[in-house]
Structure 1
Amino acid sequence: MIPHVQLPGHAAGWTSKDRAAVAVDLGRSFRRTGFVFVHNHGIPDDLIGDVYSETRRFYQLAPAQKSLYDATEQSQFLGYRGLGRERSRIHGGTEACEQYRIGHTTEEATLSCAVDFYHGPFPKSLELLAHLTQLGDRTLAACALDLGLDEDAFTPYLIGSPLHRLGLNHYGASYPAHGGSAAGYAMSPHIDLSLLTILDQDEPGLEVRDRDGRWLEVPMVRGALFLFLGDYVQRWSNGRHRAAPHRVRRVERDRMSIQYKHRPDYGVVVRPLDVLIGPQEQPAYAPLNTGRDYVAVLRSILGG
């Protein structure tokens, strides 16, 4: 069963009392499942609808036009990932979807042209990115409070150029036949290399795995957003907060999803925090560099 939490409106307006209450409600879900539907988030429905319209217009472009925005290491992986571009890490084929990424960049890596080029087709998506960044910040603060830390405990890891990203994804009903995968899903099971992910979908397809190993379909819930934790919070908390394995099954109708990933600054090394390792415990996770190690993963699935 997927838990549901009522938020106190838009994250920008939360009081200290609100933040403490949210920490209790979200913390309960993060410890048990790592995923939750959030209601009353305050992000306008019409803005989310506008982002779907932008996404639809882009994916209706001719292949040659879409390929102008091709995502490479030199674009810091912003831009377009065409069908068959992303290799699966668990089977021999590719993922059966098209993807586009907008978001923040870092001065510590090459950027082949102005970031505005990649953002050009998506002005409404940039507005949504700002709203989701506020919700991501408040959610991360709730994680800290639930773990017994100060609510700003994780802020130092996001004060430079946090690499928050918004993914605009398209899963075509005919795509599995062209993606090179014999698997029964359109996106392979994985855990996000992020702090947390916030997602909306216009058709069912997302599935999430619970603690008992069961795959649960994530339904479409009007007005709610689906929020789940990624690898980095699980590492920081030494497993107290659970990252959510998820996948996308083969879809029967064309499907789009809006997928926001909240990330720290480039090059932050994420390891279990000493304060969260009990006297009889050992670190359950190795350190991971969110710059070098993360780029190596993207190279392996996308190439340069």
Structure 2
Amino acid sequence: MHRDFQAVPVIDISGLSSADPQARRAAAARIGQAAREVGFLQVTGHGLPEALFDGLLAAAKAVFAEPMERKMAWYIGRSANHTGYVPEGEEVFASGKIDRKEAYDVSLDRPGGEASAPMLGANLWPDLPGFKPAVQAYYAAVAALARRMFAGFALALDLPEDHFEPHLRHPPSQLRLIHYPFDPDAQPDEEGIGAHTDYEFFTILRPTAPGLEVMNGEGRWIDAPPVPGALVINIGDMLEAWTNGEFVATSHRVRKVAEERYSFPFFATCDYETVVAPHPRFVGAERPARYPSIVSGEHLFAQTARTFAYLKARRARGELVVADEAPAFGQAARQPARP
């Protein structure tokens, strides 16, 4: 469980790129401590050039500035692999809450063939000059960072450094470009996105403004303001399940802020067909498995189908079948009552 931390730690992860195994292990040890005690960390020394982020931000501003009629031509419901424009109100969570935001979602771009799974295939790209190359460049860089983080997490767990590599051939990791419009009526203590944990293995986030809050072991919300040049990384449900709770998926939320805000989460996951279950290293007579065995992609898509309006409509028409109930992972398993 979480300690009663008062801040999200800031960690230099440049050692993960070192040719010296001891430097990689030292960086991994710091990462592992944060993953066990907080479930969140802000990382410097990640190696992503600022110019790539500048290009991504410019692409986001361009697409969201388009008229609604144009944006709806790229509506996510028109895609074959859950990519494209997400209008306000498309996502409705179990609480029935609608967040005031719009998004553009992209995934691993696999053109030239039919999707082999619901979230794999060719992205739906807008016909905006410069958008696709800017987003692809950032996606490639952050996906490479995710592979380094998978290796770092493996070392932190005292597993072989390449432990996750067999499951990273074509992961449907999603990059979201999210726009929160200017809201002059926002109240300082009002939620923008409600308390939740992320479905995937971990998230790599770059926001443009404050608002992120993380719950500590006392049940108090701790502010996690952006650190210049840093990326926020948090543990997701799948990595908590893989480690049988050794790493923790911490509940977090976004507080509403009056200023216009952009947020760019990259949800790092393993291959669609990866079976996620507690690793034998973390299971024993005094530590039974706390999580069921599931197929990573199937679980992710089922969760998505419960949230997006166009997928709910397909379910209602009998075109799509997913399990009625999702297994409880992360903080939902430990603390079912929403704070």
Question: Is 1:280 the counterpart of 2:290 in the alignment?
Answer: no
2:117 matched residue in structure 1: 109
Alignment gaps of 5+ in structure 2:
1-6, 312-339
Give the aligned partner of residue 174 of structure 2: 165
Residue 97 of structure 1 is matched in structure 2 by 101
| Structure 2 counterpart SS, 1:141 | helix
Question: Percent identity between the aligned chains?
Answer: 28
> How far 1:171 sits from its partner (Å)?
0.9
- Find the residue that maps to 2:200 and give its secondary structure: coil
The one of 196, 203, 218 equivalent to 1:197 is 203
The answer (yes or no) to whether the contact 1:8–1:14 under 8 Å persists in 2 is no
Question: Counterpart in 2 of 1:71?
Answer: 76
- Separation in structure 2 between the aligned mates of residue 123 and residue 299 of structure 1, nearest angstrom: 29
Aligned to 2:132: 122
The C-alpha deviation readout for 1:18-76, integer Å capped at 9, x for no partner, is 32121111011001001111112121112211211110111111011111111138432
Contact 1:270 1:289 in 2 (8 A): yes
- 1:105-254 map, 5 Å: 107-109=115-117, 114-115=122-123, 117=125, 121-159=131-169, 161-174=170-183, 184-254=190-260
Distance 1:168 1:81 in 2: 10
Report if the CA contact (8 A) 2:108-2:174 is conserved. yes
Contact 1:81 1:98 (C-alpha < 8 Å) held by counterparts = yes
Aligned residue pair count = 296
Contact preservation (8 Å) 2:106, 2:176: yes
Q: CA deviation at 1:113?
A: 8.2
1:282: how far off? 0.8
Question: Structure 1: any 5+ residue segments left out of the alignment?
Answer: 178-182
Question: What TM-score comes out, normalization by structure 2 length?
Answer: 0.81
Contact 1:119–1:126 at 8 Å: present in 2 too?
no
| Shift in Å, 1:112 | 11
Deviating beyond 6 angstroms after TM superposition, the runs of 4 or more aligned structure 1 residues are: none
Q: Could you say if the C-alpha distance between residues 268 and 262 of structure 1 is closer, same or farther in structure 2, counting changes exceeding 3 Å?
A: same
Q: CA RMSD in A?
A: 2.4
The one-letter amino acid of 2:103's match is: Q
Moved more, 270-279 or 31-40: 270-279
Distance change >3 Å, CA 173–CA 129, structure 1 → 2: same
SS in 1 for 2:307: helix
Partner Cα separation in structure 1 for residue 89 and residue 124 of structure 2: 26
Question: How much does 1:119 deviate?
Answer: 8.9
Give SS of 2:27's match.
helix
Question: 1:158 deviation in Å?
Answer: 1.5
Whole-Å Cα distance in 2 between the matches of residues 4 and 148 of structure 1? 22
- Work out the CA distance in 2 between the residues paired with 1:64 and 1:175: 26
Other structure's SS at 1:75 match? coil
Alpha-carbon distance between aligned partners in 1 of 2:283 and 2:45, rounded to the nearest angstrom: 35
Instruction: State the shift of 1:220 in Å.
Output: 1.8
Q: Which residue of 2 aligns with 1:55?
A: 60
Cα distance in 1, alignment partners of residues 75 and 253 from structure 2: 24
- Go from structure 1 to structure 2 and tell me whether the alpha carbon gap of 1:224 and 1:113 turns closer, same or farther (over 3 Å shift): closer
Give 1:180's aligned residue.
Answer: none
8 Å contact from structure 2 (residues 119, 301) kept in 1:
no
Q: Normalising to structure 1: TM-score of the pair? A: 0.89
Task: Measure, in 1, the Cα distance between the counterparts of 2:241 and 2:51.
Answer: 36
Distance in 1, matches of 2:262 and 2:119, equals 28
| Secondary structure of the corresponding residue to residue 161 of structure 2 | coil
Matching of residue 31 in structure 1 with residue 40 in structure 2: no
